[in-house]
Chains A and B, each alone.
Chain A
């Protein structure tokens, strides 16, 4: 349900002119809902940015999300799968 809630808020943000990227824990839900930009992550619920107290790993996920905002080639709805770099 959390995935749906953020997707609906993301849609409203975009309607009001604010660019969004949404972390999605369930690719299945992103495919059903079609939020504007979704980064599908391979983490379990409760751990949307991966590991607690691991700033390097968290920054890697956030950077992947920010890159979606910068990617002018993306078209709505855009779903990108997060792939962890080696060592993370």
Chain B
């Protein structure tokens, strides 16, 4: 669990040989205020969309590097899983979207004061991106700028 051995041999070999993008230098933004004063945003790579949004596009070579905004008042039952990978079991996430987009858990933490507040929007990506250059150079900066404009302090990122 949580290692390369959960994948078929062919994919395991691909992951072993894949040139993972090294983040260098590693940027570092320490929290500037206590957690109970921080505004939090979620970022998921589970390919989630809501009604009216285009599904992530499986046909884009190298992976769909676009993003969707998920409003904070979204009912989790309204989220649609459009992730293209068949290398993992989607049933848990479809049963309980909190597994990869823990919006209910974050609402509870805001209500009990562990975090200051939830941002009014969150970010959804589709993580099956083998050619991540456009994500790193274009869409991630554009998406993050929106959270910076919202004065988000902290973010929890969840892959799937």
Whether both chains belong to one complex is answered with: yes
> B82 at interface (Cβ–Cβ under 8 A)?
no
A48 to chain B, nearest CB (A): 5
A residues within 8 A CB of B156? 20-21, 23, 62, 65-66
Give the tally of cross-chain contacts (CB within 8 A). Answer: 228
Are A14 and B1 in contact, CB atoms less than 8 angstroms apart? Answer: no
Residue of A6, A26, A50 near B3 (CB, 8 A) is A26
Report the count of interface residues on B (CB-CB < 8 A).
72
Residue B113 is within 8 A (CB to CB) of chain A in the complex = no
Q: Are A6 and B43 in contact (CB under 8 A)?
A: yes
Please state if B104 and A55 are interface contacts (CB–CB under 8 Å): yes
- Cβ contacts under 8 Å, A58 to chain B: 98-99, 102, 105
B29 to chain A, nearest CB (A): 4
Count A-side interface residues using an 8 Å CB cutoff: 59
Is B92 within 8 A of A20, CB to CB? no
Contact with B along A1-44 (1 / 0, CB 8 A): 11111111111111111111111111111001111100011111
Q: Is the CB of B153 within 8 A of A43?
A: no
Which B residues are CB-close (under 8 A) to A24?
159
Does B116 sit within 8 A of A, measured CB to CB? Answer: no
A9 touches B157 (CB 8 A): yes
Q: Please give, as numbers and ranges, the residues of chain A lying within 8 Å of B43 by CB-CB distance.
A: 6, 9-10, 13
In the complex the two chains form, what is the Cα distance from A8 to B20 in whole Å? 11
Tell me if B23 and A18 are in contact (CB < 8 A): no
A14 and B29 contact, CB distance less than 8 A: yes
| A46 and B153 within 8 A (CB) | no
- Cβ of A87 < 8 Å from any Cβ of B? no
Q: How far is the CB of B145 from chain A (nearest CB, A)?
A: 7
A21:B157 contact, CB within 8 angstroms: yes
A35 to B136, CA, bound (A): 13
- Known A-B contacts A1-B127, A49-B100; the reply to A44 vs B6 at CB < 8 A is yes
23 contacting pairs across A/B (C-beta < 8 A): A1-B128, A5-B125, A5-B126, A5-B159, A6-B45, A8-B132, A8-B135, A11-B26, A11-B27, A13-B157, A18-B41, A19-B155, A27-B3, A35-B23, A44-B6, A44-B88, A47-B93, A50-B99, A52-B99, A53-B95, A69-B35, A72-B30, A76-B28
Known: A10-B157, A35-B26. 8 other contacts (CB 8 A): A2-B128, A4-B21, A4-B132, A9-B143, A32-B22, A58-B98, A62-B109, A77-B26
